[in-house]
Copies of this chain bind each other. A is one copy, B any other.
């Protein structure tokens, strides 16, 4: 393969990261020019490769899990780290789903004639090199790689150190699939070093990395944001609200609220605070509380809520800020739509918030004034998801305002440039 003399990750981490960056930049050029059929062939080869390497992937993963168990990793994190035959099949099937998505690269839109006679529009193009920093979840290695391949980007993956053996093997399978389709294997590279300093280096190479997508806890992401010299597509927390308006269909509101909380407790679109208009609180709260309590959800309410619900404990200021990701719900009675919007603005995380109402004016105001990546009407917040939005697989849900906002799928991994079609027009 004519590999250049390589810096060794252990002996010279900055030199190693630089060589990773240089290879990614060079692979990005080929990926940006690759035809759709070629990228799809690579994805098909990756899916097949995952299936046929299943036994060795399980074996590598067993080593990771053993090491992590010995090191005392907590049970929920071990669960995320552990692969099964079914999980491996799901990875392969996920890659195949991405084959089926339309290729965003090269799409030309909005071409309009201008007074000069030029026709001017936009062409969708890859971002270039995407650095992805994630926790010890081997499935992310494959999901992220597949999304980057389809969107014509090169990617540098830095997974949690506990998953290093699984990730190494998966990255090899991915590179092999790329080469089988005539694309550079270096278009997807795993950072081989588990040294935390590698992350700091990765976010400090704007020459080689165009954007960083960090996944993981709020603390990690805030630390990276403070350190990064490369633009980031960030997903902070999902402190999501459902506001039940005075004009809500209360039977519908009960269903929406229960679904928003209980569809899955651990997803970022789960409702964490329920806001209820005072006019309907006395009727609505006992109904919804009965359903939630029956499902084992603990309720923490404002004074008005506690007066209506014997099972509710008093909420404190911190509760309104909290993304529980657990069967706990904060509940507040509000005197108006304005108070509901102000609450969401002050305590929320600009992720996903919903109104249940039949009042057109209240709905219009909520949609316009709530400054979140998704605003919903008569639908539970747990719908915040790339597949549900018709975007296909997502690399994360952005709570940033610039570039991508909400679920980030293939389109969020691209950018648009201007294309100008002339026939010799001159500027005077």
Point out residues on A near B: beta carbons under 8 Å: 29, 32-33, 106, 112, 114, 116, 118, 120, 123, 125, 127-128, 210-211, 225-226, 229, 231, 233, 249, 252, 255-256, 259, 263, 345, 354, 367-369, 371-380, 382-383, 388-390, 400-403, 405-407, 415-427
Question: B residues within 8 A CB of A377?
Answer: 419-422
Q: Are B424 and A255 in contact (CB under 8 A)?
A: yes
A287 to chain B, nearest CB (A): 15
Q: Are B426 and A231 in contact (CB under 8 A)?
A: no
Q: Are A415 and B420 in contact (CB under 8 A)?
A: no
The CB with the most chain B CB atoms within 10 A, among A127, A380, A420, is that of A420
Which residue in chain B gives the minimum CB-CB distance to A108? B367
Contact of A229 among B123, B128, B210, B226 (CB under 8 A): B226
The CB with the most chain B CB atoms within 10 A, among A127, A256, A377, is that of A377
Which residue in chain B gives the minimum CB-CB distance to A400? B231
Which residue in chain B gives the minimum CB-CB distance to A249? B424
Known: A377-B422, A420-B374. A368 touches B405 (CB 8 A): no
In the complex, given contacts A32-B371, A401-B415, A407-B418, what are 15 additional A-B residue pairs having Cβ atoms less than 8 angstroms apart? A106-B368, A114-B390, A116-B388, A118-B388, A123-B375, A128-B401, A226-B229, A233-B402, A256-B426, A259-B427, A375-B418, A378-B421, A378-B425, A379-B421, A405-B416
Known: A419-B367, A420-B375. A116 touches B401 (CB 8 A): no
Q: Are A114 and B388 in contact (CB under 8 A)?
A: yes
Question: B residues within 8 A CB of A345?
Answer: 29
Per the bound structure, the CA–CA distance linking A114 and B421 in Å amounts to 35
Question: B residues within 8 A CB of A372?
Answer: 417
11 residue pairs of the A-B complex, CB under 8 angstroms, read A29-B345, A32-B369, A112-B390, A116-B388, A210-B401, A255-B424, A374-B418, A374-B419, A375-B420, A379-B420, A405-B416
A161 to chain B, nearest CB (A): 28
A149 to chain B, nearest CB (A): 18
Per the bound structure, the CA–CA distance linking A389 and B376 in Å amounts to 34
Known: A388-B118, A389-B120. A426 touches B211 (CB 8 A): no
Q: Are A420 and B369 in contact (CB under 8 A)?
A: no
Per the bound structure, the CA–CA distance linking A370 and B423 in Å amounts to 19
Question: B residues within 8 A CB of A33?
Answer: 368-369
Q: Are B252 and A378 in contact (CB under 8 A)?
A: no
Contact of A422 among B116, B229, B376 (CB under 8 A): B376
Per the bound structure, the CA–CA distance linking A219 and B110 in Å amounts to 35
Question: B residues within 8 A CB of A427?
Answer: 259, 263, 380, 382-383, 388
Question: B residues within 8 A CB of A378?
Answer: 421-425
Contact of A211 among B112, B402, B406, B417 (CB under 8 A): B402
Question: B residues within 8 A CB of A127?
Answer: 401-402
A185 to chain B, nearest CB (A): 21
Q: Are A374 and B417 in contact (CB under 8 A)?
A: yes
Which residue in chain B gives the minimum CB-CB distance to A422? B379
A348 to chain B, nearest CB (A): 13
Known: A123-B367, A403-B403, A406-B418. A256 touches B390 (CB 8 A): no
Per the bound structure, the CA–CA distance linking A192 and B418 in Å amounts to 37
Q: Are A424 and B389 in contact (CB under 8 A)?
A: no
Contact of A403 among B29, B402, B424 (CB under 8 A): B402
Which residue in chain B gives the minimum CB-CB distance to A256? B424
Per the bound structure, the CA–CA distance linking A382 and B426 in Å amounts to 9
Per the bound structure, the CA–CA distance linking A400 and B423 in Å amounts to 28
Question: B residues within 8 A CB of A390?
Answer: 112, 114, 120
